[in-house]
Amino acid sequence: MSAIKIKGATIFTMVRGEAPYEGDIFIRDSRIASIGPSIAEEAEETLDGRGMLAMPGLVNAHQHSPMSLLRAFSDDLKLMDWLERKMLPAENRMTPEDIYWGAKLGIAEMIKSGTTAFADMYIHMNEIAEAVKETGIRASLTRGVIGLEDDGGRRMGEAADLIDRWHGQADGRITTMVGPHAPYTCPPHFMKEALALAADKGVPVHTHLAETVEETAKIREKYNRTPTEYLADTGLLSHDHILLAHGVHLTPEDIKLLGGIKGGMAHNPVSNLKLACGIAPVAELLKQGTTVGLGTDGAGSATTLDMFEEIKATAWLQKLRSGNPASFTAGEALAMATAGGAELLGLRGEIGTLEAGKKADIILIDLRKPHLQPVHHAESLLAYSVGGADVDTTIVNGCILMQGRRLLTMDEEEILRETAVRARRITAGI
């Protein structure tokens, strides 16, 4: 039994309607045992919360963590050129060891910027799972599969193997999904095969949807459908849980279709901005009852895994899109990055808010800085002023992964050294 007490912090539980208050959090093993204005019980370890704000850890609901090796390698291109001419050739050179180190680089950045759980879709997932296990972060892992050529079922086999090997592992921190990459890389029979695997294993589906106008045109030409209708036709939208990334180009009918899904949409505003994809109709999706979470997408496109950037971009884009700054609030954007993401990862009962009984996935933000004072409204400050570098302490599953900005489960120097060499080799000549 291990216990940690956070004492005298400003606690922002993010439970609907609860305002921030001064108080304590008592963590026993992996869970929050109690939380309130004053807890008498003493723990083996006490964290001084004075000057700090405690909030739920952020959930990055769509990521390709080893793409951190490709950060700022290829920018200012159109998505299909970027993907086909730059990303895929570089990915083809990545060894399982590269993936392992790339994932560690991504995880280090996430822990240092307040992300405590993420949904990942990539290749060589065993190595990513090892990195998650070692570092202490929480993750939903997906072997992304494309169905453009017949590979004799190799990719789908790896997808099944990942689930069998890793679902529920690392003290329950790892869960899994099945990941048909996107409508434009997966023909109907392949989508159905992926869906059958997900149904058989009882896990969610994670896929990309309606990211660009080119995708919409391609699917229209091939199937005379919108990408969303295409997913509905293949049965994917009726699955028990589906995690959709992007959802930028949606018709009013598409939005109605998405209102009925279980799971939700991961909005990736920074990646969408940078690749000039468009602005997802987040407000309309929420109105239709679709859960929306936030993701960064890979660092190959977004260039950063700092979820505070996504929170800002979300609020600003929705305000701009409606022409009304009162139409979308700081609180809504923050809830998407926490409870919304928790729902998308299938962990709503476990994470996303600070409550007794929930998993202790908590971050402490140091507010004793010029750009974070005075504290009139914590919500506004968190959404509009705080950046990832203001996170002081990161706790996942009751374990402290960063304290005073020092990573406790990873050797940061070693990660920087390893990834610099590997990144150079992978991208040489591309």
Q: Which residues are annotated as a binding site?
A: 62, 64, 91, 143, 154, 181, 208, 211, 297
Q: Which residues are annotated as a binding site for Zn(2+)?
A: 62, 64, 208, 297
Query: What token pair was written down for 360?
Result: 């202790």
Which amino acid is present at 381? L
Which amino acid is present at 181? H
123 binds ligand SIB (CB under 6 A): yes
C-beta nearest to ligand SIB: residue: 144
Residue from 9, 58, 59, 83 that binds ligand SIB (CB under 6 A)? 83
Query: What token pair was written down for 23?
Result: 């108080």
When the beta carbons of 307 and 351 are compared against ligand SIB, the nearer one is: 307
When the beta carbons of 211 and 350 are compared against ligand SIB, the nearer one is: 211
Site for Zn ion in 174-213 (CB under 5 A): none
Residue from 297, 306, 309, 392 that binds Zn ion (CB under 5 A)? 297
Site for ligand SIB in 253-272 (CB under 6 A): 271
Beta-carbon contacts of 203 under 8 Å, excluding residues fewer than 6 positions away, are 163, 167, 175, 176, 177, 178, 241
181 binds ligand SIB (CB under 6 A): yes
Residue from 247, 298, 341, 398 that binds ligand SIB (CB under 6 A)? 298
C-beta nearest to Zn ion: residue: 297
Q: Which stretch binds ligand SIB (CB under 6 A): 43-51, 125-133, 139-147, 163-171?
A: 139-147
Query: What token pair was written down for 259?
Result: 């209102």
Q: Say if residue 374 is preceded by a cis peptide, omega within 30 of 0.
A: yes
Residue 271 binds which entry of Zn ion, ligand SIB, none, CB below 5-8 Å type-dependent? ligand SIB
274 binds ligand SIB (CB under 6 A): no
Cβ atoms of 232 and 239 closer than 8 Å: no
- DSSP string spanning 205-264? EEEEE---HHHHHHHHHHHSS-HHHHHHHTTGGGSS-EEEEE--S--HHHHHHHHT-SEE
Residue 83 backbone zone (phi > 0: left; psi -120 to 50: alpha; other: beta): alpha
Residue from 98, 127, 211, 284 that binds ligand SIB (CB under 6 A)? 211
Q: Which stretch binds ligand SIB (CB under 6 A): 42-50, 96-104, 115-123, 306-314?
A: 115-123
When the beta carbons of 190 and 328 are compared against Zn ion, the nearer one is: 190
Task: Name residue, tokens 């600003």.
Answer: 316
Residue 123 binds which entry of ligand SIB, Zn ion, none, CB below 5-8 Å type-dependent? ligand SIB
Give exposure, 394-410, as e/b (b: 16+ Cβ within 10 Å).
bbbbbbbbbeeeebebb
Residue 389's φ and ψ, nearest 5 degrees, are -70, -10
When the beta carbons of 3 and 77 are compared against ligand SIB, the nearer one is: 77
Name the nearest CA neighbour of 129 among 104, 105, 154. 104
Cβ atoms of 231 and 191 closer than 8 Å: yes
Give exposure, 90-102, as e/b (b: 16+ Cβ within 10 Å).
bbeebeeebbbbb
The interface mask with ligand SIB, positions 303-342, x = CB under 6 A, is: ----------------------------------------
When the beta carbons of 112 and 155 are compared against ligand SIB, the nearer one is: 155
Residue from 33, 52, 87, 111 that binds ligand SIB (CB under 6 A)? 87
Least distance from ligand SIB to the Cβ atom of residue 286, Å: 22
Site for ligand SIB in 56-75 (CB under 6 A): 64
Residue from 208, 249, 358, 359 that binds ligand SIB (CB under 6 A)? 208
146 binds ligand SIB (CB under 6 A): yes
> 281 to each of 135, 226, 318, 319, 322, how far by Cα in Å?
35, 16, 8, 11, 10
Give exposure, 354-381, as e/b (b: 16+ Cβ within 10 Å).
beeebbbbbbbbbbeeeebeeeeebbbb
Residue from 86, 104, 155, 358 that binds ligand SIB (CB under 6 A)? 155
Q: Which stretch binds Zn ion (CB under 5 A): 93-101, 252-260, 294-302, 339-347?
A: 294-302
Residues in contact with ligand SIB by CB under 6 A are: 64, 83, 87, 91, 121-123, 144-146, 155, 181-182, 208, 211, 271, 297-298, 301
Residues in contact with Zn ion by CB under 5 A are: 297
